[in-house]
Amino acid sequence: MRALSLCLALLLASPAAAQSPQCAPRAQLLDMLAQSQQTRRAMGQAGPAVMELFAAEDSQRWTLTVTLRDGRMCLIAHGTDYTARDEAFPVPGTAS
């Protein structure tokens, strides 16, 4: 959890990232995601922020967002070829 919070803080604080995330009121971006038929597939808490992963079934598009305490939602990354996985990672120290 601390690693996720640290990564999120570094991402939002870095000069390059400060220029790239597109933020808007949460309701506005949720409407945009709904129009592209993306629904929430995962979420996690990162300090005061909430990370959410949205994806579409048919086109395999995905979008990673962060909702900030003030209600703004920011688009962090997006792409294609989303595949849901429900698999365990190898136990540390064992061959995979």
What was the pLDDT predicted at 28?
95
Residue at 44 is within a domain: yes
Q: What does the angle CA 50 – CA 20 – CA 31 come to, to the nearest 5 degrees?
A: 55
What was the pLDDT predicted at 83?
85
Q: How many domains does the chain have?
A: 1
What was the pLDDT predicted at 59?
73
Domain region containing 31: 2-8+21-79
Residue at 15 is within a domain: no
Ranges of residues in the chain with a pLDDT under 50 are 1-18
Residue at 92 is within a domain: no
Q: What is the pTM of this model?
A: 0.70
Tell me how far apart the alpha carbons of residues 15 and 95 are, in angstroms, rounded to a whole number: 39
Residue at 16 is within a domain: no
What was the pLDDT predicted at 4?
38
What was the pLDDT predicted at 45?
95
